[in-house]
Amino acid sequence: MKIEDLNFGNIEGKDEFDLSNGIFKNSIDDVFFLDKKINYESFLKGEKSYIYGHKGTGKTSLLKYLEYKADKEKNKTISILFKDIKNNTLIYSTFLKLLGSVHDKNRASKAFWQWFILSIIIKENNIETTEDNLIFYTKNTLFSKLSTFLTKIINVKYKYQSANHELEIGTNFSDLKIDENNDLFNAGIKIDILQNLIQKNLKDKFYIFIDELETSKMSENYFQDSILIKNLIIMVNSINKLSENIFITLAVRTEVLNNIFSAGDEINKLLESKGICIQWEYDKYSITHPLIQIILKKIRYSMKNNSNINIINKSITLSDKEIFDYWFEEELVEGIYNSEQVLLNNTWLKPRDIIRLMNILQKEAFYSQKFNKSFFKEAIKKYSDASWDEIQEELVSILDKDEILSIIKTLTNYESEFSYIELKARIIRNSNFDHPQTEKIIDAMYDTGIIGNKFLDETGFLTYKYSFRGNRYIDKNVGIEVHKGLWECFTISKKLTRNKNSSNNENNDDDNTSELAELLHKLK
């Protein structure tokens, strides 16, 4: 058996665990690793409704696993992908133009989400009502447009039908006369009717899974997106309370939540009580680490499905450590005799990272029988570039393109370690941003795992603090490092670990003094 025979799966959870054509569709329980800290049954019972965490932490995979479990119990399910609509420029721009004409965006979007989801529940469960009560068939000027927008997300399962062709997509908005108060009043009547029907007639469990809620600071429609997502989160909790047979689970990225918090309406308490944050901040970098367990489970699955009976027997009888040693040399990096630690140190402790790294490493070692340091050296360069591409996708929810460009200029050919004041000086020199904007950029770099704190504590113990390890804020008074996974991408040079008072000590160098002087001059 060679490395080409291993199957590490896909970095996208929705592709890997798709129930219709996923590569593990018949063996999800055999290959899916579920963190012991996550009680998935709490979602199926309705005790939890929200999954949140950074990009790549496994939110979609968990949603797909929940869908799989609900289907296995013969329950009705439906999935909604919010982001797909943005691929249709005409529909998305039409929707945004409509939302922009509404005065009370919060009230309108809450009423819309309520009516839209209730209509799905009624339709999917064959509860009798007049078509006029469903949002898919309404002639209401405001909500017919919104319903057309959202039905595109659900594979055009529901098609808005009306004899009034002026309300079709592509309508000239100057011809539309929106009576906002009247529209919302009529929507309230329909919502009340649907709620009563559901409470009386919904006898079977019905699961709705909502995923890929995204915003982008690069988009002119950032504010409208935030309003829509924020009110969807609020209405999920409200609709779940309507019936003991309604189970809506929503997944959202942490950086999107942070943007929504600034849009008003406190939802942090709601997420705290009804949600689960996915975070893989384990300190023990050994064979027992969950991310190592993920790749071991997939290796064992690949061996189990091999045609060679000896390989199959090994998949059953060998321990985790024996499986790992069977495929990995002791050294992936010269002088470091812990290959598990080497793999983990180059990740941001997310399933997507470890799967990306293994897939790239597999391509380098394709026809070999063991991963070694020569393959790893070539793979880590490609992995570093791919990791930066991933982080940029996260940054667009926080920064604009000029701010992201300033990060690229700052890190390229820089050192691996520096002080806070040095980093600030370098960003200002490369961008001419002011003091508050520079600090905002550094905070974004920390939040997305580009940088973290690295310093010697009072006892002389080497300490690391990163956002993905659960440390929410950067410490300005100790040393900072660039994450190792990005060194190759930016050709960053290794620098020795600084002392615990590095921010003070390092300013004695001539080069650093000049940078500090330049910074102070610009700040003045």
List of residues 6+ apart from 41 with CB closer than 8 A: none
- Residue 4 to residue 423: CA distance in whole angstroms: 43
206-213 and 246-253 strand pairing: parallel
What was the pLDDT predicted at 175? 53
Residue 76 predicted with pLDDT over 90: yes
* 197 and 48 within one domain: yes
DSSP-derived secondary structure for 71-98: HHTT-EEEEEEGGGGGG-HHHHHHHHHH
For residue 493, the cross-strand partners are 415
- Residue 444 to residue 296: CA distance in whole angstroms: 33
- Residue 217 to residue 227: CA distance in whole angstroms: 14
**Residue after which a domain boundary falls, among 245, 277, 309:** 277
Q: Which of 218, 254, 263 is nearest to 447 (CA)?
A: 254
Report yes or no on 268 lying in a domain: yes
- Tell me the three state secondary structure of residue 170: coil
Q: Is 210 exposed, middle or buried (0-12, 13-18, 19+ CB in 10 A)?
A: buried
* 387 and 400 within one domain: no
- Residue 383 to residue 360: CA distance in whole angstroms: 7
What was the pLDDT predicted at 432? 84
Report yes or no on 432 lying in a domain: yes
Residue 2 predicted with pLDDT over 50: yes
- Residue 387 to residue 390: CA distance in whole angstroms: 5
pLDDT 10s digits, 318-364: 999 999 999 999 889 888 888 999 999 999 999 999 999 999 999 99
What was the pLDDT predicted at 513? 45
Q: Which of 407, 399, 427 is nearest to 515 (CA)?
A: 427
Of the candidate ranges 56-60, 136-140, 173-177, 479-483, the one whose mean pLDDT is the lowest: 173-177
For 16, 45, 208, 252, the CA distances from 64, given in Å and listed in that order, are: 9, 16, 11, 14
**Residue after which a domain boundary falls, among 277, 293, 313:** 277
Q: Which of 53, 66, 64 is nearest to 21 (CA)?
A: 64
Say if CB 99 and CB 91 are below 8 A apart.
Answer: no
Of the candidate ranges 121-130, 275-284, 444-453, 473-482, the one whose mean pLDDT is the lowest: 275-284
Structural domain of 437: 396-523
Report yes or no on 106 lying in a domain: yes
Helix intervals (H) in 338-453: 339-345, 351-364, 373-395, 401-411, 420-431, 435-447
- Residue 346 to residue 337: CA distance in whole angstroms: 15
- Residue 218 to residue 215: CA distance in whole angstroms: 9
Grade residue 80 by pLDDT with cuts at 50, 70 and 90: confident
Residue 419 predicted with pLDDT over 70: yes
* 51 and 129 within one domain: yes
Kindly report each contact of residues 325-330 with a partner whose C-beta sits within 8 Å and lies 24 or more positions away, as own/partner.
327/3, 327/6, 327/299, 327/370, 327/371, 328/370, 328/371, 329/370, 329/371, 329/372, 329/373
pLDDT 10s digits, 205-238: 999 999 877 765 555 566 777 788 888 999 999 9
DSSP state of 174: G
Over range 91-98, report the average pLDDT: 64
* 490 and 423 within one domain: yes
Q: Is 309 exposed, middle or buried (0-12, 13-18, 19+ CB in 10 A)?
A: exposed
* 231 and 100 within one domain: yes
Q: Above pLDDT 90, what percent of the chain?
A: 51
* 270 and 293 within one domain: no
Report yes or no on 495 lying in a domain: yes
Over range 484-494, report the average pLDDT: 93
Q: Name the phi and psi angles at 84, rounded to 5.
A: -60, -30
* 238 and 105 within one domain: yes
Number of domains the chain contains: 3
- Tell me the three state secondary structure of residue 435: helix
* 213 and 231 within one domain: yes
What was the pLDDT predicted at 99? 66
Of the candidate ranges 100-104, 201-205, 212-216, 292-296, the one whose mean pLDDT is the lowest: 212-216
Residue 86 predicted with pLDDT over 60: no
Over range 75-95, report the average pLDDT: 71
Grade residue 493 by pLDDT with cuts at 50, 70 and 90: confident
Report yes or no on 80 lying in a domain: yes
For 82, 92, 155, 181, 334, the CA distances from 152, given in Å and listed in that order, are: 10, 10, 6, 26, 53
What was the pLDDT predicted at 183? 81
pLDDT 10s digits, 234-278: 999 999 999 999 999 999 988 788 777 655 557 888 888 999 998
Over range 491-515, report the average pLDDT: 52
Say if CB 85 and CB 91 are below 8 A apart.
Answer: yes
**Structure-block tokens of residue 227:** 């309003």
- Rounded to a whole number of angstroms, the distance between the first and last alpha carbons of the chain is 66
Over range 430-443, report the average pLDDT: 92
Report yes or no on 466 lying in a domain: yes
What was the pLDDT predicted at 497? 52
21 vs 378: which has the higher pLDDT: 378
Report yes or no on 311 lying in a domain: yes
* 214 and 167 within one domain: yes
Say if CB 185 and CB 192 are below 8 A apart.
Answer: no
* 258 and 170 within one domain: yes
Report yes or no on 147 lying in a domain: yes
